[in-house]
Amino acid sequence: MNVLVTGATGFVGINVVEALLARGDRVVAFGATELPAAARAAFAQHGEALTVVIGDVRDDAAVDRAFAGRRIDRLVHGAVITAGRARELDDPTTIVEVNIAGTTRVIEAARRHGVGRIVHVSSGSAYGRSLFELPHLYEDVTPERPETFYQITKFAGERAAIRIAALHGLELVCTRLGSVIGPWELDTGVRDTLSTHFQLARMAARGEAAVLPAREHRRDWVYSRDVAAGILAMLDAPAPRYRLYNLASGDDWGGLAHWCTHLRSVYPGFAYRVAAEGEAHNLGIAEAQDRARMDIGRLARDIGFRRRFTPDAAYADWLPWLVAHAGWGR
């Protein structure tokens, strides 16, 4: 099967490309930059099964070139700007152009080129204020109340993709991801706040001391390999009943200190402590509030997907990867 992945040189995209290649698909990886050297080396064994196309989803011609002459069977659309407040202040137009207009451009190109199943990768951030005010998030009943440009554009991108699919009878599903951690996370310049787990891993590798927030900010982290597997399950499902699926873990991952103890097993000199009263922590945190858990029952019932990695299993898988990819993301 020939699969085009947009946003393929970013965190989630690289995981999706890796999973597709591992099962024998041919992949066209479309991204704004070249694949990182470590990913190119890891995927070299797949030879001509991987084609990298550098381009911008704001460019009609570049998007069309990614599809042209390749008989693309499936599409995973993951190109996005994960914007923080500073980018909202400085450049809201680009956020809109990539997250909404870029989405419609890619979906329209897929329609013109006769692509079958399309998976549009969205975010739990589309729930907006409901993320912080409700205990659980359900696709069919939870109100979407987006406020930030990232939340607004992810929700609008979903609705635009779904509308195009309805108008033209396309096979399209959208998936809202939880907070993703795991292999291949990197600073691409379009994710304004990296995960706290990745920040801590980078500190440990650099020999820096971490000061953790005095109050934990809880969320249902989801491992990147589970995210890739869930996206592939939606890509393959014979007849999805719904347009929208949450993809998260449903787990309480414990506090950041739990991850730090795992990091210390491979970086024994890693020092960390909880901030004293009135002391500032030294992590970048996008949302200083607890996030509700995303219900994943629809994905399990309809698609048949269940996540593989518990928190401890994820950490046990990730740590050897970090050691093997020493220097990644520094």
Q: Could you tell me the residue range of the domain that residue 102 belongs to?
A: 2-180+221-252+292-314
**Residue 49: inside a domain, yes or no?**
yes
> What's the chain's length in residues?
330
Q: How large is the average pLDDT for residues 293-319?
A: 96
**Residue 194: inside a domain, yes or no?**
no
**Residue 36: inside a domain, yes or no?**
yes
- When divided into structural domains, the chain yields a total of 1
What CATH number did the domain enclosing 296 receive? Answer: 3.40.50.720
**C-alpha to C-alpha distance for 272 and 189, rounded to whole angstroms:** 27
**Residue 324: inside a domain, yes or no?**
no
**Residue 192: inside a domain, yes or no?**
no
Which own/partner pairs from 201-205 qualify as long-range (CB within 8 Å, at least 24 positions apart)?
Answer: 201/263, 201/322, 201/329, 202/329, 202/330, 203/270, 204/260, 204/263, 204/264, 204/266, 204/267, 204/270, 205/267, 205/322, 205/326, 205/327, 205/330
The confidence score (pLDDT) of residue 256 equals: 92
**Residue 84: inside a domain, yes or no?**
yes
**Residue 102: inside a domain, yes or no?**
yes
pLDDT tens digits, 150-191: 999 999 999 999 999 999 999 999 999 999 999 999 888 887
Cα dihedral 195/198/199/202 (nearest 10): -170
**Residue 118: inside a domain, yes or no?**
yes
Radius of gyration of the chain (CA): 19
**Helices 311-324 and 224-236: angle between axes, nearest 10 degrees:** 110
pLDDT tens digits, 119-148: 999 999 999 999 999 999 999 999 999 999
